[in-house]
Chain A
């Protein structure tokens, strides 16, 4: 199963706005995407509540996994999103 590890670039972590943008993108990815923290907790990346419940801070590493057609492309774009400071406007 394709997977990528990325550290959260948003200066305030993966909270409300970045989490919302990320989960929306994950929901549109066309394949189910799982996000796993270093501590081993996994959630559906398309669930904003799931993402928020993890309380992921700036610089923390997470692993994204996806399966199916287009999984690699979906992961690439989601990794790009997490590598961007989504709190910059």
Chain B
């Protein structure tokens, strides 16, 4: 796929597999902090992510949420990046339980292709389950890498 592959935007140190959060906003803040730590965004992007979450939940199903900033927050994006945070105990997300947050920083229109690739993966219940239960960065990379030898 010519579009930016998910794995190229995900640094290994941005995969945090053993987190706990008090609520969904705490989880979103942690995703924001991970994006700041990755050098992808300014601090102000974290507030933009919270704002987006307040406006509409970023829960997408399959125990996964995709926190990201508002349109106004795009100026705080230095480069496109992903972070993957896993919450083994689950986080209550307006009545749903979220086990994995994929935090997204995207400055241009690239997020549409990103989200499309991510959604394709999550539409496969087996892969979604593997993502929810991943215990190593290698497993996460393997799941997010484009399919090469299977349908």
A-B residue pair count with CB separations less than 8 angstroms: 55
A15, B119: Cβ atoms under 8 Å? no
Once the chains are docked, how many angstroms separate the CA of A48 from the CA of B64?
Answer: 12
The residue from B52, B62, B109, B120 contacting A53, defined by CB atoms under 8 A apart: B120
* B residues 55-71 touching A (CB-CB < 8 Å): 55-58, 60-62, 66, 68, 70-71
* A residues 18-58 touching B (CB-CB < 8 Å): 20-21, 47-57
Once the chains are docked, how many angstroms separate the CA of A54 from the CA of B118?
Answer: 11
A15, B58: Cβ atoms under 8 Å? no
A54, B56: Cβ atoms under 8 Å? no
CB neighbours of A49 from chain B (8 A): 60-62, 119, 122-123
Task: Answer whether residue B2 sits at the interface, using C-beta atoms and an 8 A cutoff.
Answer: no
* B residues 94-151 touching A (CB-CB < 8 Å): 109, 111-113, 115-116, 118-120, 122-123
B109, A13: Cβ atoms under 8 Å? yes
Asked, given contacts A52-B118, A53-B123, A87-B71, whether A17 binds B111 with beta carbons under 8 Å apart, the answer is: no
A52, B116: Cβ atoms under 8 Å? yes
Q: How far is the CB of A13 from chain B (nearest CB, A)?
A: 5
Chain B contact residues (Cβ within 8 angstroms of A): what range? 20 to 34
Once the chains are docked, how many angstroms separate the CA of A21 from the CA of B56?
Answer: 8
A16, B115: Cβ atoms under 8 Å? yes
Closest to B52 in A: A17
User: Contacts A20-B57, A53-B119 given; 14 further ones with Cβ under 8 A?
Assistant: A12-B111, A13-B112, A15-B112, A16-B68, A16-B111, A20-B60, A21-B56, A47-B61, A49-B123, A50-B119, A52-B60, A53-B120, A53-B123, A57-B112
Q: What are the 6 closest A-B residue pairs judged by CB atoms, nearest first?
A: A55-B116, A52-B119, A53-B119, A49-B119, A52-B115, A53-B120
Which A residues have a C-beta under 8 Å from some C-beta of B? 12-13, 15-17, 20-21, 47-57, 87, 89
Q: What are 29 of the A-B contact pairs (CB < 8 Å)?
A: A12-B71, A12-B112, A13-B109, A15-B111, A15-B112, A15-B115, A16-B52, A16-B66, A16-B68, A16-B111, A16-B115, A20-B58, A21-B56, A48-B60, A49-B60, A49-B61, A49-B62, A49-B119, A49-B122, A50-B119, A52-B60, A52-B115, A53-B119, A54-B116, A55-B113, A55-B116, A57-B109, A57-B112, A87-B71
